[in-house]
Amino acid sequence: MHMADALISPAVGIAMWGATAGVASYSLKKINMEADEKKLPLMGVLGAFVFAAQMINFAIPGTGSSGHLGGGLLLAALLGPYAAFLTLAVVLFIQALFFADGGLLAFGCNVFNLGFYTCFIAYPLYRRLIRRTNIWFASIIAAVVGLQLGAFSVVVQTLLSEKVELPFTTFALFMQPIHLAIGIVEGIATAAVISFVMKAKPELSTTTNTPTNRLIGTLGLLALLIGGIFSSIASSKPDGLEWSIFRTAGTEELHATTTLHTTLERLQQSLALLPDYNLKNGGASIGWLDIGTSVSGIVGVFIVTIALFVPYMMKKWRKET
């Protein structure tokens, strides 16, 4: 559900940048008040894990579409909502900047759609449900709610941007059902990961928000395996947003409409190290393993990890000096 710049007007894009910056600023303030530095390394490996997981598109039977995990609910369940929102924002920024996945103008929309609803609405719902039911039911319901809100937000943002190619009712009638299916899968995957962490060896438990070296190492290794190997078997079918746009407008992508759109598109293409998670000079493969995708997954995992570890290292350096 990574929106391209062409889907929104400059006014909507700038407004959503402002809204996202406000939530990020508040989240950063809350994290600083918590003063829980032990959580920072976990943010790094979990961010890398979510980056890798988002590369795995799974086909939705009978639709010709695919979906991928958003990761917001998973991050919130393991980190808390404030650290989760910031972690996901970093992941999405790196995807946009280095892999041309999601527009620069639409960055605020993407963080809000994928992060705000899951971290601050779906996660509190998850907390309430898990007290009364079980982790599987709670995760599925919360994931569906978060993704439905995010999908509807996309529809509203295109409406406010006056995208006549995407009539509100028609676009919503495609977006909501396809993301319902994606939300169910995300809920199952979220419950599986949380269950693994909670039921594995005691040192893998994050209920105390005190990560261990083994937990960090395990998640880091999983991120590398998913991004470097399993990403090559991802479905090539259009994701839920692209599928909905095609069903509504007859094309998977809309064209840039203003000078700002064109300028940002050129800037993004010039900055992208591995556009569309592939090598600039074309991809190669070894059997089923796509070299460009594997390189992108490994590079992305390292960039996300380093970016999220920087605050931890800076705080540690300041204490030592």
Q: Give the span between the Cα atoms of 288 and 81, in whole angstroms.
A: 38
In the block, residue with structure tokens 């990961």: 193
pLDDT digit string (tens) for 113-163? 999 999 999 999 999 999 999 999 999 999 999 999 999 999 999 999 999
Kindly report the CA angle at 48 between 46 and 52, in degrees rounded to 5? 115
**CB-based contact 245:251 (threshold 8 Å):** yes
Task: Provide the number of structural domains found in the chain.
Answer: 1
Kindly report the CA angle at 66 between 44 and 123, in degrees rounded to 5? 45
Helix, strand, coil share of the chain (percent; to 5): 75, 5, 25
**CB-based contact 148:179 (threshold 8 Å):** yes
Q: Give the span between the Cα atoms of 273 and 280, in whole angstroms.
A: 8
204: pLDDT strictly greater than 60: no
Arithmetic mean of pLDDT, 60-77: 94
Q: What is the span of the domain harbouring residue 133?
A: 5-320
Q: What is the percentage of the chain residues whose pLDDT exceeds 90?
A: 73
Q: Give the span between the Cα atoms of 316 and 299, in whole angstroms.
A: 25
Arithmetic mean of pLDDT, 57-74: 94
pLDDT digit string (tens) for 174-195? 999 999 999 999 999 999 998 8
246: pLDDT strictly greater than 60: yes
> pLDDT band at residue 321, thresholds of 50, 70 and 90?
low
Q: Give the span between the Cα atoms of 267 and 32, in whole angstroms.
A: 33
201: pLDDT strictly greater than 90: no
pTM value is 0.92
Q: Give the span between the Cα atoms of 305 and 254, in whole angstroms.
A: 33
71: pLDDT strictly greater than 70: yes
Buried b (16+ CB within 10 A) or exposed e, 85-95: bbbbbbbbbbb
Which CATH number covers residue 32? 1.10.1760.20
> pLDDT band at residue 206, thresholds of 50, 70 and 90?
very low
